[in-house]
Structure 1
Amino acid sequence: MIEARLLNRLQRKKTQLDDLRPLPAAAVRRLNEQLTVEWIYNSNAIEGSTLTLKETQLILETGLTIGGKSLREHFEVINHKQAIEYVEALSTGEASITPFHVRQIHQLVLTHIDDDNAGQYRNLPVYITGTAYEPPEAWEVVHLMSEWGDWLNGPALLLHPVERAALAHHRLVAIHPFIDGNGRTARLVMNLLLMYEGYPPTIIKRANRRQYYRVLAQADEENESPLVNFVGRAVERSLTLYLEACTPRTAPPASEDEWIPLREAAQGTPYSQEYLSLLARKGRLEAIKRGRIWYTTRRAIATYRASVG
């Protein structure tokens, strides 16, 4: 399901990261603090939170109440942090991930927001706004979640870890086992499965919300490759960030390995900046996005050119 070029990059970067273990504690701590804020902000924003990244950081670091923002939005930040801490603890263990853990994560996500339903499977029908997909009836949820656990710890173990995490995420969303909080819970479970296999936490960005919902809808129609590759590109971004933070710099990077904006990278090639941007968005060109600007390396462009002849 993962495109060959993307799979090769994921395997190479994962191997490079594993070769650096044990990772430098100070660098990992700083990066984890940054990614935790971004993870919480983006996951909540996808679900409609109006808090900014800076406001999210202030709530986490100071406990301040942000004027004009709802109490629910504040609890969504605090709860998500506690859920991440639970996921981090689980990821270092050896136990299989089961529906019990999914319910525990959901309970943390909805604590003080909807205590009656936190950690409880729904007993009512639910509808997903903006999609024709209809989740299963409430009476089917217990059985479907049991099947999800059997699949996750059976046939899914034969999949690449990124494929397994992406598909587990989609199957959870498709079951929609809870009244509320399904998306946040599914993304936490996805990261739990990735971290369990030694991958860094991966962020689905608010800016990519439309594409995220589009690939989920395609997966509803049994076309799962777009979702798997979408998640794979997000995993690659996290691997790149960790490699940059943890790789010792005894000398400046070789010029062909230096990250440069696509505008600069396009110079001297047969490709326009717009075409390179398209390749980056599709995951066909190794690239990372910082803010609103895509970056790649000259080596990545050379690799792409060689692959297409």
Structure 2
Amino acid sequence: MAKDIPWRSVEPVPELNGDVAELLAAIDSLRRVWDENLAVATPDEVEQARKRSLRRHAIETGIIERLYDLDWGVTEALVAEGLTLDVAANEGGLTEDTLAVIRDQYSALDYLAEAARTGHELSVHFIRELHVLITRHQPTYDAQDQFGRVVKVALPHGEWKRQPNSVTREDGVRINFVPPEQVQSEMELLLDRYASAASAHPVVRAAWLHHSFISIHPFADGNGRVARALTLLVLLQAHYAPLVVDRRQRADYIAALDSANEGNLRPLVRFFARLERIALTSALTRPVEAAPVGVGAVDVARAYAERLRVLTQRRDDAQGKQTQALAEALQEKLWDYMGNVRDQFRDAFRAVDPAANATVYQAAPPDERAFWWRAQLVRTANAVDFYSNLRAGSWWTQLRLTVLGQTLRYVVAVQKVGRGETGVLAVTSFAESVENHLEAESSRAISLLSPTPDDSVTLIYTDSADARWTEVCELVDRTLAAAIASFSNGLG
């Protein structure tokens, strides 16, 4: 019989060292580069980036709770262009009720972002007001009656729960939250301990606040959305990029919360750190500032040329050289890695096809072959959510495996991130299957991988290839294994 997890009073923010400290140090290094790039951005660029991030959070937080579902195309359109029915209609549309809920969530996040900007302190009143804004167009929630039937019950906006609540996991374990009569005192304790942990790392503090609030579950419904908003508040107040928990990470998110429920906060801290890395990398993607409306074509050209000049010249030569040296060191390690597995793959498949063969190739700037794979790298970067700067090409290494008339192309590339010289690099990979006679770089191919935001490693120019190699190697191991499996299935 599954055992219940009883509710516990709010505990202090823990001190986390070891691998978590190393991960947070890497995040802080990336944040410093983000700050440098933010310093040269225009106010309009900063504001537009903030709005896009809040729109994405507003959409995804409801999907995580399964309040509604949206196609990815609709989501991307709403994030890029604004929360309107007309924008959504171009990609398939959504209902007015769903849009109203999303807009409420956006308004709450906008209110929260302004509070972070003005240094507003976290309080019981603020949390209640946040709940009112988030749930404004949610009149009811699902509850159970005395016979265990699901019924619709009016949702008290901004008021503490009046009935006990709990959640039962898939393994049958029931997690009990704070009883109604203890909510006020536990919320006050939460805020006291939050204030006393001002020196804790913001990502640790955010993860702790998130889980502690969830453990109280002070409202009848909407607790997850409020918790994710509070996470955003902590990070914005500490001048970190606003992270988003999206539908693709739901399983990892729930698993990290389950670990925290059992007393281990580390997985949730690592999860949020990973999302913060994605947010910081994505934030380096900024559009070229538009020229004023109504000017002539020559004026438009001059405005864009000046903007591009600033972007491409804002870094000194020393940083550019460090960035290039890091990319070259990583590529050298990738060459050694591919060389080690090449013969093993060839020998393994010769048991099936005596003519099976494996080779390794690579190219780097200024070689003209450094511009190969542009379409594949851009598609992968879009899926991972960053801007791949291929103005000078990339440092790529390819493993080509030929078996039974089919060729696997597995390419891992080191590329610059963001417009201009940001000092940030990303390592990504893609894999394709082609017929032997169509193995040219530009040929039609079948993609074998579906990358997610977790399928990259982000580095900055001050990093050491040796220090970050473990992460890069884990990425290559994982994606190459997936590519080999998919390729082999296609041979049958």
Fold match (TM-score > 0.5): yes
- RMSD of equivalent CA atoms: 3.6
1:15 is aligned to 2:32: yes
**What residue identity is the alignment partner of 2:59?**
Y
CA gap of 1:287–1:231, structure 2 versus 1, over 3 A, is farther
CA gap of 1:43–1:307, structure 2 versus 1, over 3 A, is closer
1:208 is aligned to 2:249: yes
1:279 aligns with none
1:82-118 Cα shifts (integer Å, max 9, x gaps): 0111011101112321122111111111102138511
Match of 1:17, SS state, is helix
1:153-232 correspondence runs (5 A) = 153-154=195-196, 156-232=197-273
Contact 2:85–2:93 (8 Å) recurs in 1: no
CA gap of 1:300–1:176, structure 2 versus 1, over 3 A, is farther
CA gap of 1:163–1:296, structure 2 versus 1, over 3 A, is closer
Identity %: 23
1:132 aligns with 174
Match of 2:284, SS state, is helix
1:114-133 correspondence runs (5 A) = 114=139, 116-130=155-169, 132-133=174-175
Deviation at 1:53, TM superposition (A): 4.0
Contact 2:34–2:280 (8 Å) recurs in 1: yes
1:269 is aligned to 2:337: yes
Which stretch of the first structure deviates more once superposed, 286-295 or 40-49? 286-295
Deviation at 1:200, TM superposition (A): 1.3
1:292 aligns with 452
Structure with greater proportional helix content: 1
Contact 1:122–1:179 (8 Å) recurs in 2: yes
2:116 aligns with 91
1:39 is aligned to 2:57: yes
Give, in whole Å, the separation in 2 of the partners of 1:297 and 1:150.
Answer: 36
Match of 1:51, SS state, is coil
CA gap of 1:172–1:162, structure 2 versus 1, over 3 A, is same
2:194 aligns with 152
Which stretch of the first structure deviates more once superposed, 140-149 or 124-133? 124-133
Deviation at 1:70, TM superposition (A): 5.8
Listed as ranges, the gaps of 5+ residues in structure 1 are 277-285
1:143-196 Cα shifts (integer Å, max 9, x gaps): 111111111112x21311111111101111110011111111100011011001
CA gap of 1:229–1:178, structure 2 versus 1, over 3 A, is same
Match of 1:86, SS state, is helix
CA gap of 1:200–1:227, structure 2 versus 1, over 3 A, is same
Give, in whole Å, the separation in 1 of the partners of 2:176 and 2:93.
Answer: 35
Contact 1:121–1:177 (8 Å) recurs in 2: yes
1:43-81 Cα shifts (integer Å, max 9, x gaps): 111111212344344494324587896655332211111
CA gap of 1:111–1:16, structure 2 versus 1, over 3 A, is same
1:141 aligns with 183
Greater Rg over alpha carbons, structure: 2
Deviation at 1:17, TM superposition (A): 2.6
Give, in whole Å, the separation in 1 of the partners of 2:34 and 2:261.
Answer: 34
Deviation at 1:295, TM superposition (A): 3.0
1:281 aligns with none
Match of 2:105, SS state, is helix
CA gap of 1:288–1:100, structure 2 versus 1, over 3 A, is farther
1:265-302 Cα shifts (integer Å, max 9, x gaps): 9554268799x9xxxxxxxxx86899537233687754
Contact 1:96–1:153 (8 Å) recurs in 2: no
**What residue identity is the alignment partner of 2:156?**
N
Which stretch of the first structure deviates more once superposed, 122-131 or 58-67? 58-67
1:254 is aligned to 2:336: no
Give, in whole Å, the separation in 1 of the partners of 2:78 and 2:470.
Answer: 47
Contact 2:83–2:99 (8 Å) recurs in 1: no
Contact 2:105–2:134 (8 Å) recurs in 1: yes
2:137 aligns with 112
**What residue identity is the alignment partner of 1:175?**
I
- Residue among 92, 98, 101 paired with 1:76: 101
Which stretch of the first structure deviates more once superposed, 132-141 or 65-74? 65-74
CA gap of 1:55–1:304, structure 2 versus 1, over 3 A, is closer
Contact 2:457–2:471 (8 Å) recurs in 1: no
Contact 1:256–1:297 (8 Å) recurs in 2: no
Contact 1:14–1:199 (8 Å) recurs in 2: yes
Give, in whole Å, the separation in 2 of the partners of 1:201 and 1:297.
Answer: 17
CA gap of 1:195–1:75, structure 2 versus 1, over 3 A, is same
Contact 1:194–1:200 (8 Å) recurs in 2: yes
1:119-142 Cα shifts (integer Å, max 9, x gaps): 111111122242521111111111
Give, in whole Å, the separation in 2 of the partners of 1:287 and 1:213.
Answer: 27
**What residue identity is the alignment partner of 1:50?**
D
**What residue identity is the alignment partner of 1:292?**
T
CA gap of 1:297–1:137, structure 2 versus 1, over 3 A, is closer
Contact 2:253–2:271 (8 Å) recurs in 1: yes
